[in-house]
Every structure is written in structure tokens, then in C-alpha cells.
Amino acid sequence: MADAEMQDGALPSVLVFENDPRQAIAYRDLFVDGGYAGQTALPSQDVQRVCQALRPAAALVDMAIWEADTAYIFGVLNGAVGFDRPVILALASLPHQVRRAKRFGADGVWVRGVDDAAALPQLVGDLLQQRQEGKLKPKMPSTPL
């Protein structure tokens, strides 16, 4: 995890967009245990304000949230006004959610029920390292948000 530490020594933060409170807390705690600062949020909150205050290195977005809300979240994250665009990892369980995540510009997709959740912090760390090395360019949405 030391490789992913921010230049000022602070832990990189992960912003979790999950509408099930228990799942949101579980994901947040998983990242905290993995050496990240974690925070949960909902699309009903002011996503722009939360992102400007937290300046997340990564965002975890549940694609089971209503499509208009996920489009709003991705629009704010991809626009990155007042903060650096975070690495975006989408959580999906159905094929149409995977396709939507890719269309919206997700940098990676984690498929629930197939992939092991314990590996999420390492996956985010790998994506952050690839971004730092210039190997992972921010994806551009292929659909209007």
C-alpha cells in the first residue's frame, strides 16, 4: 500500500457509492483495512462537493444504483471540476451493468459473485499505480452523461 500513498504522506482516499448501507460500510471498512482512507456517499448527496472536499484517488460505484444516478455520479467524476479525476472502479453483477459501466467510462469493472471482494484494495492499488506510471489513461464515456 505504501506505493499508493499520496505525495504529502496522506493515505489515498476511496469514495464508495453504494445504496445498501451495510454493503457501503463493508466496502469502506475493506479499504480502510487495506490502508486507504474511505468514505461512503450516495447520489442524493452533493457529489461535486463531496469530491472537492475528499479529493478521492479512487471511486467505487455500484452499477445497481438507478441508471440516472450512476450517470450523474460518472458525469461528476469524469468532469473532475475542482479535483483530479479519480480511478473509477464499477461494481456490477449483471451483463448490462458491465456494459453500462464501460460506456460511462469506468477504468475497471469488478463482477460481484465472481471476483473476490477481498482483492478490491489490491485492484484499486494496481489501477492507481498504472495511472501514476502513465499506463492507465482516464476513459472517456462513449455515451452522453
Please give the Cα distance from 120 to 30 (Å, whole number): 8
Report the pLDDT averaged over residues 108-137: 91
> Looking at domain 10-132, which of 3.30.70.580, 3.40.50.2300, 3.40.50.300, 2.40.50.140 is its CATH number?
3.40.50.2300
Please give the Cα distance from 68 to 104 (Å, whole number): 11
Q: pLDDT digit string (tens) for 26-51?
A: 999 999 999 999 999 998 878 999 99
pLDDT confidence of residue 6: 47
pLDDT confidence of residue 145: 64
Please give the Cα distance from 87 to 51 (Å, whole number): 13
Q: pLDDT digit string (tens) for 53-82?
A: 999 999 999 999 999 999 999 999 999 999
E strand or H helix that includes residue 14: strand 13-17
Torsion of CA 43, 70, 83, 142, to 10 degrees: -160
pLDDT confidence of residue 86: 97
